[in-house]
Structure 1
Amino acid sequence: MKRNFSISVDMSKLKNRRARHDEHYQPTDMEHIANMLTHGICIIPSLYGLKTMHERASSPTEVIALLIYGMALFFLFTTSTLYHSLSFAGAKGLLKHCFHMGDRAVIYVFIAASYTPWLLLKDFGGVSHFFMWLVWVMCVLGILYQFLFHSKYKSLEVIFYLMIGICPAYAITHMTDPSGVQELAIGGIIYVSGVVFFKCDGIIPFAHAIWHCFVFLGAFSHFYAINTYLVGKHGATQGSFVSNTA
């Protein structure tokens, strides 16, 4: 006698409903935990990565570049973890609002900081100065947007993230030494692919935690590229942004 076994999964425990235009997405408890863990486990490795890069740095310019990138990476994971932890704990009002804004704003800082080591330490045929200003001005404008229109225009917010992440990449066409471009491209593709899940909160279970995993993978690809092609290779920092502006 054959028996048919079926497993019923209560989807309400895995994902919440889709948020309306005028409200924030509220994860389920299981999603809260996943959101905390997927970035929380990256905090210590990000500090260790900063330490190892700093120890290998061969010039003051490398130290500056790595501190900017490493601290941005650390604050990205830390701010995200703190925000999701406060949300899970039921925090409301100004505290939660400030950390939510910080969680979104630090993404702009991290994108700009990810470009900074390359613009400081690679030769871009004299356009490093322009692209350095471009990426950080876009970062400041993105942060101002967060303070003025926090989560009001959600699709526009994603467009801003993509613009600051993709547009300055045109600088790659001016690189005199293309080493590391493959890893940069892989990391960029991972980040952009993850945006799909970033916009699927309330549609795909654990969508935000999956987005966190894409961020980790993209950051690892870029960290590998920086540690392999930039750290310890610029004693005199030839062709760097600092040298060009001194």
Structure 2
Amino acid sequence: MASKSIRIPNYTLGEELFNSISHGIGAQLSVAGLVLMVLKAHGFLPEFVVSLFGATMIILYTVSCVYHALSPKMKAKKVLRVMDHCNVYLLVYGTYIPASILGVGGKIGIYLFLFVTIVTIIGITLTIIDIDKYQLLEVICHLINGWSILIGVPKLLESVGKTGVLYFVLGGVMYTIGSILYGVGKRKKYMHCIFHVFCLLGTFFHFWGIYMYLI
């Protein structure tokens, strides 16, 4: 996709400051979260999958922080906007890696992991081709990815219990509300800032579910 065709949302300086700082804090918390998960996990597989989850958290919030900090006149901001959108898929995918492999497990866990992998690839491909043209399809991909976990809830209940599942569901609810706010944010001032808060909440609930109940 040519950078000239990539549009940059017209946010105010105050909005961009909040957007950048909030996700900058998210990046730092993600580093701490990664360290905590690796220290608690036992064995190669648990350590590996939580490391992937932690890495996707760090990547998303770091890129988002830098993207919102750059001037709209800079070409790099357009490139980072595409990366920012792609990283949303990566974070959800990173969340599914421990959830499906450690939480759901078995054939259902493998099938769930493969399904989310395919949807993630489709979503990222559409984003790279044209970040604005396929927005509806991207939202559909996000919703499918986000709520596919329902397929594995019976198995997840066995491994993390009701409270653990509750945190995974709460994370999904936060992201779903956030996706709605993202659409509104293009027309309402500071709505995108609130979207950032819901993203942080969604990530926290998923992290807590994994840290406290899965590893």
- Normalising by structure 1, we get a TM-score of 0.79
1:135 matched residue in structure 2: 116
Unaligned 5+ runs, structure 2: 1-5
SS at match of 2:189: coil
CA distance, structure 2, for counterparts of residue 91 and residue 152 of structure 1: 22
- Structure 1 equivalent of residue 3 of structure 2: none
Name 1:198's counterpart in structure 2.
Answer: 182
8 Å contact from structure 2 (residues 160, 213) kept in 1:
no
Segments of 5+ residues of structure 1 without an aligned counterpart are 1-21, 232-246
Q: Quick one: which of 50, 63, 66 aligns to 1:66?
A: 50
Pairwise CA RMSD: 1.7
Among residues 207, 210, 215, which one is paired with 1:226 in the alignment?
A: 210
Identical amino acids, percent of aligned pairs: 26
Cα deviations across residues 205-238 of structure 1 (Å, max 9, x unaligned)?
211111010011111111111011112xxxxxxx
Task: Kindly indicate whether the alpha-carbon contact (under 8 Å) linking 2:103 and 2:160 is maintained by their aligned counterparts in 1.
Answer: no
1:53 aligned partner = 37
Query: Quick one: which amino acid aligns to residue 170 of structure 1?
Result: I
* CA distance in 2: counterparts of 1:126 and 1:152, whole angstroms: 36
Q: 1:196 to 1:123 in 2, by over 3 A?
A: closer
Alignment length, in residue pairs? 207
Separation of aligned partners in 2, 1:116 and 1:82: 26
Is the 1:47–1:74 Cα contact (8 Å) retained in structure 2? yes
The CA distance in 2 between the partners of 1:192 and 1:219, in whole Å, is 12
Give the conservation status (yes or no) of the 8 Å contact 1:25–1:201. no
Matches within 5 A, 1:176-215: 176-177=158-159, 179=161, 180-215=164-199
Counterpart of 2:74, as a letter, is K
**TM-score, with structure 2 as normaliser:** 0.89
> RCO higher in 1 or 2 (8 Å CA, sep ≥ 6)?
1
CA distance in 2, matches of 1:157, 1:102: 14
More helix by share: 2
Residue 20 (structure 2) aligns with? 36
Tell me what 2:79 maps to. 98
Distance across 2 between alignment mates of 1:145 and 1:121: 30
Q: Is the counterpart of residue 82 in structure 1 residue 44 in structure 2? A: no
Cα distance in 1 for partners of 2:201, 2:31 equals: 16
Report the Cα distance in structure 2 between the residues aligned to 1:163 and 1:53, rounded to whole angstroms. Answer: 27
The structure with the larger Rg is 1
Indicate if the aligned counterparts of 2:159 and 2:214 stay in contact, CA closer than 8 A.
Answer: no
Following the alignment from structure 1 to structure 2, what is the Cα–Cα distance between the partners of residues 80 and 132?
26
